[in-house]
Structure 1
Amino acid sequence: MNILDVRDLTVRTAQGRVLVDGLSLTMAPGERLGLIGESGSGKSLTTLAVLGLLPEGMTATGGVELAGTQIVGADERRLTKVRGRDASIVFQEPLTALDPLMRVGRQIAEPLGRRRGLRGAALKRAVVDALERVRLPEPDRIARAFPHEISGGQRQRVALAMALACDPQLLIADEPTTALDVTVQSDMLDLLDSLVRERDMAILFVSHDLAVVAKVADRVLVMKDGRAVEEGDVRGIVRTPREEYTRTLVTSARQLESALDLRSA
Protein backbone atom coordinates (compact mmCIF):
# COMPACT_ATOMS: atom_id res chain seq x y z
CA MET A 1 0.00 0.00 0.00
CA ASN A 2 1.23 3.50 -0.81
CA ILE A 3 2.11 5.78 2.08
CA LEU A 4 0.59 8.70 0.13
CA ASP A 5 -2.06 8.83 -2.60
CA VAL A 6 -3.06 12.25 -3.94
CA ARG A 7 -5.83 12.16 -6.54
CA ASP A 8 -7.08 15.21 -8.43
CA LEU A 9 -6.20 17.58 -5.57
CA THR A 10 -7.50 21.10 -6.12
CA VAL A 11 -6.94 23.98 -3.71
CA ARG A 12 -9.03 27.14 -3.99
CA THR A 13 -9.21 30.46 -2.19
CA ALA A 14 -12.48 31.68 -0.70
CA GLN A 15 -12.91 33.80 -3.84
CA GLY A 16 -12.64 30.70 -6.05
CA ARG A 17 -9.14 31.23 -7.39
CA VAL A 18 -7.49 27.87 -8.14
CA LEU A 19 -3.97 27.56 -6.69
CA VAL A 20 -3.46 23.82 -7.09
CA ASP A 21 -5.23 22.36 -10.09
CA GLY A 22 -6.04 18.65 -10.29
CA LEU A 23 -2.73 17.37 -8.93
CA SER A 24 -2.15 13.63 -8.58
CA LEU A 25 0.87 11.81 -7.14
CA THR A 26 1.70 8.64 -5.26
CA MET A 27 4.51 7.68 -2.89
CA ALA A 28 5.49 4.17 -1.84
CA PRO A 29 6.90 3.51 1.63
CA GLY A 30 10.54 4.58 1.75
CA GLU A 31 10.32 6.51 -1.55
CA ARG A 32 12.14 9.81 -2.05
CA LEU A 33 10.14 12.28 -4.14
CA GLY A 34 11.20 15.81 -5.02
CA LEU A 35 8.48 18.41 -5.62
CA ILE A 36 9.98 21.31 -7.53
CA GLY A 37 8.79 24.58 -9.03
CA GLU A 38 9.18 28.32 -8.79
CA SER A 39 7.51 30.42 -6.09
CA GLY A 40 3.74 30.35 -6.56
CA SER A 41 3.74 26.99 -8.34
CA GLY A 42 1.59 25.41 -5.61
CA LYS A 43 4.16 23.01 -4.18
CA SER A 44 4.02 24.28 -0.58
CA LEU A 45 0.21 24.40 -0.63
CA THR A 46 0.27 20.79 -1.77
CA THR A 47 2.30 19.76 1.29
CA LEU A 48 -0.03 21.69 3.60
CA ALA A 49 -3.05 19.99 2.04
CA VAL A 50 -1.43 16.59 2.64
CA LEU A 51 -1.47 17.28 6.39
CA GLY A 52 -4.75 19.20 6.49
CA LEU A 53 -2.93 22.42 7.34
CA LEU A 54 -4.21 24.78 4.65
CA PRO A 55 -4.49 28.43 5.74
CA GLU A 56 -7.90 29.73 6.74
CA GLY A 57 -9.96 30.67 3.70
CA MET A 58 -8.53 27.94 1.47
CA THR A 59 -10.32 24.69 0.71
CA ALA A 60 -9.20 21.40 -0.81
CA THR A 61 -11.18 18.99 -2.95
CA GLY A 62 -10.16 15.66 -4.43
CA GLY A 63 -8.51 12.88 -2.48
CA VAL A 64 -5.50 12.78 -0.18
CA GLU A 65 -4.98 9.41 1.51
CA LEU A 66 -2.12 9.35 4.00
CA ALA A 67 -1.24 5.97 5.52
CA GLY A 68 -4.82 4.84 4.96
CA THR A 69 -6.47 7.98 6.35
CA GLN A 70 -8.49 10.27 4.08
CA ILE A 71 -7.29 13.80 4.83
CA VAL A 72 -9.61 15.95 2.73
CA GLY A 73 -12.72 16.55 4.81
CA ALA A 74 -11.30 14.94 7.97
CA ASP A 75 -12.04 16.59 11.30
CA GLU A 76 -9.28 17.99 13.52
CA ARG A 77 -9.40 15.00 15.87
CA ARG A 78 -8.55 12.59 13.07
CA LEU A 79 -5.90 14.90 11.62
CA THR A 80 -4.20 15.22 15.01
CA LYS A 81 -3.78 11.45 15.14
CA VAL A 82 -2.07 11.42 11.74
CA ARG A 83 0.31 14.34 12.27
CA GLY A 84 3.57 13.29 13.86
CA ARG A 85 2.62 9.60 13.85
CA ASP A 86 2.22 8.96 10.11
CA ALA A 87 3.74 12.12 8.68
CA SER A 88 5.63 15.18 9.93
CA ILE A 89 6.81 18.38 8.30
CA VAL A 90 9.91 20.56 8.52
CA PHE A 91 9.37 24.12 7.33
CA GLN A 92 11.72 26.58 5.66
CA GLU A 93 12.11 28.93 8.62
CA PRO A 94 12.50 27.20 11.99
CA LEU A 95 11.78 30.39 13.94
CA THR A 96 8.18 30.20 12.73
CA ALA A 97 7.94 26.51 13.64
CA LEU A 98 9.45 26.81 17.13
CA ASP A 99 7.78 28.55 20.07
CA PRO A 100 10.11 31.43 21.05
CA LEU A 101 8.86 31.34 24.66
CA MET A 102 9.45 27.62 25.21
CA ARG A 103 12.75 25.84 25.81
CA VAL A 104 13.89 23.52 23.04
CA GLY A 105 13.74 20.39 25.17
CA ARG A 106 10.14 21.00 26.18
CA GLN A 107 9.11 21.45 22.55
CA ILE A 108 10.58 18.06 21.63
CA ALA A 109 9.16 16.49 24.79
CA GLU A 110 5.56 17.40 23.91
CA PRO A 111 5.13 15.01 20.93
CA LEU A 112 7.15 12.32 22.71
CA GLY A 113 4.92 12.51 25.77
CA ARG A 114 1.72 12.70 23.75
CA ARG A 115 2.49 9.99 21.18
CA ARG A 116 4.74 7.60 23.08
CA GLY A 117 3.50 8.16 26.61
CA LEU A 118 6.98 8.88 27.98
CA ARG A 119 7.38 10.57 31.36
CA GLY A 120 10.10 11.61 33.80
CA ALA A 121 13.65 10.34 33.23
CA ALA A 122 12.62 8.30 30.18
CA LEU A 123 11.23 11.42 28.52
CA LYS A 124 14.35 13.48 29.28
CA ARG A 125 16.55 10.72 27.85
CA ALA A 126 14.41 10.52 24.70
CA VAL A 127 14.73 14.31 24.20
CA VAL A 128 18.52 14.11 24.40
CA ASP A 129 18.53 11.10 22.08
CA ALA A 130 16.43 13.03 19.54
CA LEU A 131 18.92 15.91 19.59
CA GLU A 132 21.88 13.54 19.29
CA ARG A 133 20.32 11.82 16.27
CA VAL A 134 20.36 15.11 14.36
CA ARG A 135 24.04 15.55 15.32
CA LEU A 136 23.65 18.52 17.61
CA PRO A 137 26.62 19.14 19.93
CA GLU A 138 25.97 19.50 23.66
CA PRO A 139 22.39 18.21 23.45
CA ASP A 140 21.79 18.78 27.17
CA ARG A 141 22.68 22.48 26.81
CA ILE A 142 20.57 22.89 23.68
CA ALA A 143 17.61 21.21 25.37
CA ARG A 144 17.73 23.93 28.03
CA ALA A 145 18.08 26.79 25.52
CA PHE A 146 15.40 28.99 23.99
CA PRO A 147 15.30 29.08 20.15
CA HIS A 148 16.86 32.56 19.95
CA GLU A 149 19.87 31.33 21.94
CA ILE A 150 21.03 28.90 19.24
CA SER A 151 22.10 29.40 15.60
CA GLY A 152 19.86 29.12 12.55
CA GLY A 153 21.40 25.80 11.55
CA GLN A 154 20.90 24.44 15.06
CA ARG A 155 17.28 25.62 15.08
CA GLN A 156 16.63 23.76 11.85
CA ARG A 157 18.12 20.60 13.35
CA VAL A 158 15.87 21.03 16.37
CA ALA A 159 12.87 21.31 14.03
CA LEU A 160 14.02 18.13 12.32
CA ALA A 161 14.43 16.38 15.69
CA MET A 162 10.83 17.33 16.55
CA ALA A 163 9.56 16.05 13.20
CA LEU A 164 11.35 12.71 13.59
CA ALA A 165 10.70 12.23 17.32
CA CYS A 166 7.79 9.83 16.83
CA ASP A 167 9.27 7.97 13.82
CA PRO A 168 6.74 8.98 11.15
CA GLN A 169 6.50 6.98 7.93
CA LEU A 170 6.70 10.14 5.80
CA LEU A 171 8.81 13.25 6.31
CA ILE A 172 7.77 16.37 4.39
CA ALA A 173 10.65 18.82 4.03
CA ASP A 174 9.43 22.17 2.67
CA GLU A 175 12.45 24.20 1.52
CA PRO A 176 14.30 23.18 4.72
CA THR A 177 17.67 24.60 3.67
CA THR A 178 16.73 27.83 1.88
CA ALA A 179 17.24 30.04 4.96
CA LEU A 180 20.70 28.56 5.69
CA ASP A 181 24.10 29.56 4.34
CA VAL A 182 25.76 27.32 1.75
CA THR A 183 27.96 25.31 4.13
CA VAL A 184 25.18 24.70 6.66
CA GLN A 185 22.81 23.88 3.80
CA SER A 186 25.13 21.13 2.55
CA ASP A 187 25.45 19.63 6.04
CA MET A 188 21.68 19.69 6.48
CA LEU A 189 21.10 17.90 3.17
CA ASP A 190 23.64 15.22 4.10
CA LEU A 191 21.90 14.78 7.46
CA LEU A 192 18.45 14.49 5.89
CA ASP A 193 19.73 11.97 3.37
CA SER A 194 21.38 9.76 6.00
CA LEU A 195 18.46 9.88 8.46
CA VAL A 196 15.92 8.97 5.81
CA ARG A 197 18.08 6.06 4.65
CA GLU A 198 18.71 4.80 8.19
CA ARG A 199 14.99 4.72 8.99
CA ASP A 200 13.79 3.59 5.54
CA MET A 201 11.47 6.59 5.67
CA ALA A 202 9.69 8.20 2.75
CA ILE A 203 10.52 11.85 2.10
CA LEU A 204 8.64 14.48 0.10
CA PHE A 205 11.28 17.15 -0.48
CA VAL A 206 10.07 20.54 -1.71
CA SER A 207 12.39 23.06 -3.34
CA HIS A 208 12.74 25.59 -6.15
CA ASP A 209 16.31 24.37 -6.76
CA LEU A 210 16.69 21.23 -8.87
CA ALA A 211 20.34 20.81 -7.82
CA VAL A 212 19.25 20.57 -4.18
CA VAL A 213 16.46 18.11 -5.01
CA ALA A 214 18.92 15.94 -6.96
CA LYS A 215 20.94 15.38 -3.77
CA VAL A 216 17.96 13.91 -1.90
CA ALA A 217 15.30 12.60 -4.28
CA ASP A 218 15.12 9.62 -6.61
CA ARG A 219 12.02 10.83 -8.45
CA VAL A 220 10.91 14.37 -9.31
CA LEU A 221 7.54 15.98 -9.97
CA VAL A 222 7.73 19.43 -11.57
CA MET A 223 4.95 21.94 -10.84
CA LYS A 224 4.02 25.15 -12.64
CA ASP A 225 0.96 27.34 -12.00
CA GLY A 226 -0.57 24.71 -9.72
CA ARG A 227 -0.24 21.84 -12.19
CA ALA A 228 2.13 18.93 -12.63
CA VAL A 229 4.00 19.47 -15.91
CA GLU A 230 6.56 16.66 -15.81
CA GLU A 231 7.43 13.68 -13.65
CA GLY A 232 10.15 11.06 -13.74
CA ASP A 233 13.41 9.66 -12.47
CA VAL A 234 15.71 12.44 -11.29
CA ARG A 235 18.48 11.54 -13.73
CA GLY A 236 16.08 11.45 -16.66
CA ILE A 237 14.56 14.80 -15.68
CA VAL A 238 18.00 16.40 -15.37
CA ARG A 239 19.53 14.95 -18.53
CA THR A 240 16.58 14.76 -20.94
CA PRO A 241 13.78 17.07 -19.75
CA ARG A 242 10.75 17.02 -22.05
CA GLU A 243 9.10 20.31 -21.11
CA GLU A 244 10.48 23.78 -21.78
CA TYR A 245 9.77 24.83 -18.19
CA THR A 246 11.77 21.89 -16.85
CA ARG A 247 14.63 22.73 -19.20
CA THR A 248 14.65 26.23 -17.71
CA LEU A 249 14.93 24.81 -14.20
CA VAL A 250 17.79 22.54 -15.30
CA THR A 251 19.61 25.42 -16.95
CA SER A 252 19.26 27.67 -13.91
CA ALA A 253 20.40 25.00 -11.44
CA ARG A 254 24.03 24.76 -10.39
CA GLN A 255 26.16 21.65 -9.84
CA LEU A 256 23.55 19.20 -11.08
CA GLU A 257 26.04 16.71 -12.45
CA SER A 258 28.14 16.83 -9.29
CA ALA A 259 25.02 16.26 -7.20
CA LEU A 260 24.14 13.17 -9.23
CA ASP A 261 27.73 11.92 -9.11
CA LEU A 262 27.75 12.22 -5.31
CA ARG A 263 24.47 10.23 -5.12
CA SER A 264 26.00 7.36 -7.09
CA ALA A 265 29.36 7.34 -5.27
Structure 2
Amino acid sequence: MTLLDVRGLTVRTSDGRTLVDDLSFTLAGGERLGLIGESGSGKSLTTLAVLGLLPDGMSAAGSVELAGVQIVGVPEKRLTGVRGRDAAVVFQEPLTALDPLMRVGRQIAEPLGRRTGLKGRDLRRAVADALAQVRLPDPDRIARAFPHEISGGQRQRVALAMALACEPKLLIADEPTTALDVSVQAEMLELMDTLVRERGMAVLFVSHDLAVVARITDRALVMKGGRAVEEGTVDALVRSPREEYTRTLVASARRLESALDLRSSR
Protein backbone atom coordinates (compact mmCIF):
# COMPACT_ATOMS: atom_id res chain seq x y z
CA MET A 1 0.00 0.00 0.00
CA THR A 2 1.33 3.43 -0.95
CA LEU A 3 2.26 5.52 2.08
CA LEU A 4 3.83 8.52 0.32
CA ASP A 5 2.79 9.61 -3.17
CA VAL A 6 4.65 12.59 -4.64
CA ARG A 7 3.44 13.80 -8.04
CA GLY A 8 4.86 16.73 -9.97
CA LEU A 9 6.33 18.37 -6.88
CA THR A 10 7.80 21.76 -7.72
CA VAL A 11 9.37 24.12 -5.20
CA ARG A 12 9.92 27.75 -6.13
CA THR A 13 11.22 30.84 -4.39
CA SER A 14 9.17 34.01 -4.15
CA ASP A 15 11.23 35.52 -6.99
CA GLY A 16 10.37 32.63 -9.31
CA ARG A 17 13.48 30.43 -9.12
CA THR A 18 12.72 26.72 -9.39
CA LEU A 19 14.60 24.61 -6.83
CA VAL A 20 12.74 21.31 -7.22
CA ASP A 21 11.30 20.66 -10.65
CA ASP A 22 8.40 18.28 -11.39
CA LEU A 23 9.57 15.52 -9.04
CA SER A 24 7.55 12.31 -8.69
CA PHE A 25 8.07 9.15 -6.64
CA THR A 26 6.18 6.77 -4.38
CA LEU A 27 7.03 4.98 -1.16
CA ALA A 28 5.14 1.99 0.16
CA GLY A 29 4.69 1.14 3.82
CA GLY A 30 7.85 -0.48 5.17
CA GLU A 31 9.87 0.44 2.05
CA ARG A 32 13.15 2.35 2.13
CA LEU A 33 13.98 4.96 -0.47
CA GLY A 34 17.18 6.98 -0.67
CA LEU A 35 17.38 10.49 -2.15
CA ILE A 36 20.94 11.03 -3.28
CA GLY A 37 22.74 13.93 -4.94
CA GLU A 38 25.23 16.68 -4.34
CA SER A 39 24.56 19.75 -2.21
CA GLY A 40 21.95 21.96 -3.84
CA SER A 41 20.29 19.11 -5.73
CA GLY A 42 16.97 19.64 -3.94
CA LYS A 43 17.02 16.61 -1.63
CA SER A 44 16.43 18.40 1.65
CA LEU A 45 13.86 20.77 0.15
CA THR A 46 11.95 17.72 -1.04
CA THR A 47 11.76 16.32 2.50
CA LEU A 48 10.68 19.71 3.87
CA ALA A 49 7.94 19.88 1.25
CA VAL A 50 6.80 16.38 2.21
CA LEU A 51 6.33 17.59 5.78
CA GLY A 52 4.87 20.97 4.83
CA LEU A 53 7.85 22.71 6.43
CA LEU A 54 9.24 24.82 3.60
CA PRO A 55 10.83 28.06 4.88
CA ASP A 56 9.34 31.47 4.28
CA GLY A 57 9.90 32.66 0.73
CA MET A 58 9.36 29.22 -0.80
CA SER A 59 6.20 27.54 -2.01
CA ALA A 60 5.27 24.09 -3.30
CA ALA A 61 3.07 23.05 -6.19
CA GLY A 62 1.99 19.62 -7.34
CA SER A 63 0.75 16.88 -5.04
CA VAL A 64 2.17 15.25 -1.92
CA GLU A 65 -0.07 12.68 -0.24
CA LEU A 66 1.17 11.25 3.04
CA ALA A 67 -0.96 8.47 4.54
CA GLY A 68 -3.84 9.73 2.41
CA VAL A 69 -3.48 13.34 3.57
CA GLN A 70 -2.70 16.06 1.02
CA ILE A 71 0.21 18.20 2.22
CA VAL A 72 0.58 20.83 -0.52
CA GLY A 73 -1.62 23.86 0.01
CA VAL A 74 -3.10 22.61 3.28
CA PRO A 75 -3.33 25.01 6.27
CA GLU A 76 -0.69 24.51 8.93
CA LYS A 77 -3.16 23.56 11.66
CA ARG A 78 -4.27 20.52 9.64
CA LEU A 79 -0.71 19.22 9.37
CA THR A 80 0.19 19.09 13.06
CA GLY A 81 -1.49 15.71 13.46
CA VAL A 82 0.40 14.30 10.47
CA ARG A 83 3.82 15.19 11.88
CA GLY A 84 4.88 12.74 14.53
CA ARG A 85 1.94 10.42 13.96
CA ASP A 86 2.44 9.65 10.27
CA ALA A 87 5.96 11.00 9.67
CA ALA A 88 8.87 12.19 11.78
CA VAL A 89 12.27 13.56 10.83
CA VAL A 90 15.86 13.38 12.01
CA PHE A 91 17.91 16.32 10.74
CA GLN A 92 21.65 16.57 10.07
CA GLU A 93 22.50 18.74 13.07
CA PRO A 94 20.44 17.92 16.17
CA LEU A 95 21.83 20.89 18.11
CA THR A 96 19.78 23.17 15.85
CA ALA A 97 16.74 20.87 15.89
CA LEU A 98 16.62 20.50 19.69
CA ASP A 99 15.48 23.34 21.93
CA PRO A 100 18.64 24.52 23.74
CA LEU A 101 16.64 25.84 26.71
CA MET A 102 14.65 22.64 27.35
CA ARG A 103 15.87 19.49 29.05
CA VAL A 104 16.11 16.45 26.80
CA GLY A 105 13.49 14.47 28.70
CA ARG A 106 10.89 17.19 28.38
CA GLN A 107 11.45 17.46 24.64
CA ILE A 108 10.59 13.78 24.27
CA ALA A 109 7.83 13.85 26.90
CA GLU A 110 5.71 16.55 25.26
CA PRO A 111 4.88 14.77 21.99
CA LEU A 112 4.89 11.36 23.66
CA GLY A 113 2.43 12.52 26.31
CA ARG A 114 0.08 13.97 23.68
CA ARG A 115 0.07 10.70 21.73
CA THR A 116 -0.22 8.24 24.60
CA GLY A 117 -1.96 10.22 27.32
CA LEU A 118 0.72 9.15 29.81
CA LYS A 119 1.50 11.45 32.72
CA GLY A 120 3.77 11.72 35.73
CA ARG A 121 5.83 8.67 36.62
CA ASP A 122 4.50 6.61 33.72
CA LEU A 123 5.50 9.30 31.23
CA ARG A 124 8.97 9.63 32.79
CA ARG A 125 9.41 5.86 32.54
CA ALA A 126 8.35 5.94 28.87
CA VAL A 127 10.89 8.71 28.17
CA ALA A 128 13.65 6.68 29.84
CA ASP A 129 12.62 3.64 27.77
CA ALA A 130 12.78 5.70 24.56
CA LEU A 131 16.31 6.84 25.42
CA ALA A 132 17.36 3.30 26.35
CA GLN A 133 16.07 1.97 23.01
CA VAL A 134 18.56 4.18 21.17
CA ARG A 135 21.30 2.72 23.40
CA LEU A 136 22.04 5.80 25.44
CA PRO A 137 23.81 5.03 28.72
CA ASP A 138 22.17 6.27 31.92
CA PRO A 139 18.89 7.42 30.32
CA ASP A 140 17.76 9.20 33.48
CA ARG A 141 20.86 11.42 33.40
CA ILE A 142 20.45 12.13 29.71
CA ALA A 143 16.79 13.04 30.29
CA ARG A 144 17.81 15.66 32.86
CA ALA A 145 20.52 17.17 30.62
CA PHE A 146 20.27 20.13 28.27
CA PRO A 147 21.33 19.47 24.64
CA HIS A 148 24.66 21.30 25.01
CA GLU A 149 25.59 19.06 27.95
CA ILE A 150 25.77 15.88 25.86
CA SER A 151 27.93 14.89 22.89
CA GLY A 152 27.01 15.23 19.22
CA GLY A 153 26.50 11.49 18.88
CA GLN A 154 24.26 11.45 21.95
CA ARG A 155 22.24 14.39 20.62
CA GLN A 156 21.63 12.54 17.37
CA ARG A 157 20.42 9.51 19.31
CA VAL A 158 18.11 11.79 21.28
CA ALA A 159 16.76 13.15 17.99
CA LEU A 160 16.18 9.58 16.80
CA ALA A 161 14.42 8.71 20.06
CA MET A 162 12.14 11.73 19.63
CA ALA A 163 11.33 10.74 16.06
CA LEU A 164 10.52 7.13 16.97
CA ALA A 165 8.68 7.82 20.24
CA CYS A 166 5.31 8.41 18.56
CA GLU A 167 5.78 5.38 16.26
CA PRO A 168 5.32 7.15 12.92
CA LYS A 169 4.72 5.22 9.73
CA LEU A 170 7.55 7.08 7.94
CA LEU A 171 10.95 8.14 9.21
CA ILE A 172 12.64 10.90 7.21
CA ALA A 173 16.39 11.03 7.83
CA ASP A 174 18.11 14.06 6.30
CA GLU A 175 21.89 13.50 6.27
CA PRO A 176 21.63 12.18 9.87
CA THR A 177 25.24 11.02 10.15
CA THR A 178 27.17 13.60 8.12
CA ALA A 179 28.22 15.65 11.16
CA LEU A 180 29.40 12.59 13.13
CA ASP A 181 32.80 10.93 13.35
CA VAL A 182 33.20 7.88 11.11
CA SER A 183 33.02 5.36 13.95
CA VAL A 184 30.00 7.07 15.49
CA GLN A 185 28.42 7.28 12.04
CA ALA A 186 28.64 3.52 11.58
CA GLU A 187 27.07 2.91 14.99
CA MET A 188 24.24 5.33 14.22
CA LEU A 189 23.47 3.71 10.88
CA GLU A 190 23.40 0.25 12.43
CA LEU A 191 21.12 1.48 15.21
CA MET A 192 18.73 3.20 12.82
CA ASP A 193 18.65 0.15 10.57
CA THR A 194 17.78 -2.11 13.50
CA LEU A 195 15.11 0.11 15.04
CA VAL A 196 13.19 0.86 11.85
CA ARG A 197 13.34 -2.81 10.86
CA GLU A 198 11.89 -3.86 14.21
CA ARG A 199 9.05 -1.37 13.77
CA GLY A 200 8.40 -2.07 10.10
CA MET A 201 8.67 1.62 9.29
CA ALA A 202 9.17 3.18 5.89
CA VAL A 203 12.29 5.32 5.47
CA LEU A 204 13.08 8.29 3.24
CA PHE A 205 16.84 8.68 3.63
CA VAL A 206 18.70 11.72 2.27
CA SER A 207 22.44 11.64 1.66
CA HIS A 208 25.16 12.75 -0.73
CA ASP A 209 27.03 9.49 -0.02
CA LEU A 210 25.94 6.49 -2.08
CA ALA A 211 27.74 4.13 0.30
CA VAL A 212 25.55 5.32 3.17
CA VAL A 213 22.40 5.03 1.06
CA ALA A 214 23.41 1.50 0.09
CA ARG A 215 23.70 0.60 3.76
CA ILE A 216 20.19 1.75 4.66
CA THR A 217 17.88 1.65 1.64
CA ASP A 218 16.64 -0.78 -0.98
CA ARG A 219 15.88 1.74 -3.73
CA ALA A 220 17.31 5.14 -4.59
CA LEU A 221 16.40 8.21 -6.59
CA VAL A 222 19.29 10.29 -7.90
CA MET A 223 18.71 14.06 -8.00
CA LYS A 224 20.63 16.82 -9.77
CA GLY A 225 19.63 20.44 -10.09
CA GLY A 226 16.24 19.79 -8.54
CA ARG A 227 15.26 17.06 -10.98
CA ALA A 228 15.20 13.27 -10.88
CA VAL A 229 18.08 11.88 -12.94
CA GLU A 230 17.76 8.15 -12.37
CA GLU A 231 15.84 5.77 -10.12
CA GLY A 232 16.16 2.08 -9.35
CA THR A 233 17.30 -0.51 -6.87
CA VAL A 234 20.54 0.32 -5.10
CA ASP A 235 22.23 -2.71 -6.62
CA ALA A 236 21.21 -1.71 -10.16
CA LEU A 237 22.33 1.89 -9.71
CA VAL A 238 25.69 0.78 -8.35
CA ARG A 239 26.42 -2.00 -10.80
CA SER A 240 24.78 -0.66 -13.98
CA PRO A 241 24.20 3.10 -13.76
CA ARG A 242 22.63 4.51 -16.92
CA GLU A 243 23.43 8.20 -16.43
CA GLU A 244 26.85 9.83 -16.34
CA TYR A 245 26.00 11.71 -13.14
CA THR A 246 25.10 8.46 -11.37
CA ARG A 247 28.37 6.92 -12.57
CA THR A 248 30.20 9.86 -11.01
CA LEU A 249 28.46 9.28 -7.69
CA VAL A 250 29.33 5.59 -7.81
CA ALA A 251 32.96 6.34 -8.59
CA SER A 252 33.26 8.79 -5.71
CA ALA A 253 31.41 6.71 -3.11
CA ARG A 254 33.61 5.56 -0.26
CA ARG A 255 33.28 2.18 1.43
CA LEU A 256 30.80 1.15 -1.27
CA GLU A 257 31.64 -2.53 -1.49
CA SER A 258 31.63 -2.96 2.29
CA ALA A 259 28.28 -1.17 2.47
CA LEU A 260 26.80 -3.55 -0.10
CA ASP A 261 28.23 -6.53 1.76
CA LEU A 262 26.64 -5.32 4.99
CA ARG A 263 23.34 -4.77 3.23
CA SER A 264 23.32 -8.26 1.69
CA SER A 265 23.96 -9.82 5.08
CA ARG A 266 20.85 -8.27 6.67
TM-score scaled by length of structure 2? 0.99
Q: What whole-Å deviation, never above 9, does each CA across 1:138-179 have from its counterpart, x for those lacking one?
A: 000000001011000000000000011100000000000000
Q: What is the distance in 2 between the residues matched to 1:131 and 1:188?
A: 14
User: Which residues of 2 match residues 1-265 of structure 1 at below 5 A?
Assistant: 1-265=1-265
Shift of 1:262: 1.1
Q: Secondary structure at the match of 2:81?
A: helix
Identity of aligned residues (%): 80
Q: Secondary structure at the match of 1:203?
A: strand
Shift of 1:264: 1.2
Query: Which stretch shifts more, 132-141 or 108-117?
Result: 108-117
**Letter paired with 1:148:** H
Q: What is the distance in 2 between the residues matched to 1:231 and 1:88?
A: 24
Q: What is the distance in 1 between the residues matched to 2:58 and 2:221?
A: 23
Shift of 1:257: 1.2
Structure 1, unpaired ranges of 5+: none
Q: Secondary structure at the match of 1:205?
A: strand
Q: What is the distance in 2 between the residues matched to 1:240 and 1:81?
A: 41
Q: Secondary structure at the match of 1:188?
A: helix
Q: What is the distance in 1 between the residues matched to 2:81 and 2:75?
A: 10
Q: What is the distance in 1 between the residues matched to 2:5 and 2:128?
A: 34
Q: Secondary structure at the match of 2:65?
A: strand
Shift of 1:228: 0.3
Q: What whole-Å deviation, never above 9, does each CA across 1:13-50 have from its counterpart, x for those lacking one?
A: 00010000000010000001010000000000000000
Shift of 1:67: 0.4
Q: Secondary structure at the match of 1:38?
A: coil
Q: What is the distance in 2 between the residues matched to 1:83 and 1:116?
A: 15
Q: What is the distance in 1 between the residues matched to 2:216 and 2:20?
A: 24
Q: What is the distance in 2 between the residues matched to 1:50 and 1:141?
A: 35
Q: What is the distance in 2 between the residues matched to 1:229 and 1:126?
A: 43
Q: What is the distance in 1 between the residues matched to 2:24 and 2:262?
A: 30
**Letter paired with 2:22:** G
TM-score scaled by length of structure 1? 0.99
Q: What whole-Å deviation, never above 9, does each CA across 1:54-112 have from its counterpart, x for those lacking one?
A: 00010000000000100001111111010000000000000011011110000000101
**Letter paired with 1:77:** K
**Letter paired with 1:16:** G
Q: What whole-Å deviation, never above 9, does each CA across 1:157-212 have from its counterpart, x for those lacking one?
A: 00000011100000000000000000000000000100111000000000000001
Q: What is the distance in 1 between the residues matched to 2:85 and 2:132?
A: 20
Q: What is the distance in 2 between the residues matched to 1:204 and 1:215?
A: 13
**Letter paired with 1:157:** R
Shift of 1:255: 1.5
**Letter paired with 1:46:** T
Q: Secondary structure at the match of 2:186?
A: helix
Shift of 1:114: 1.6
Q: What whole-Å deviation, never above 9, does each CA across 1:228-265 have from its counterpart, x for those lacking one?
A: 00000000101110000000000000121111111112
Q: What is the distance in 1 between the residues matched to 2:46 and 2:151?
A: 29
**Letter paired with 2:226:** G
Count of equivalent residues: 265
Query: Which stretch shifts more, 70-79 or 168-177?
Result: 70-79
**Letter paired with 1:93:** E
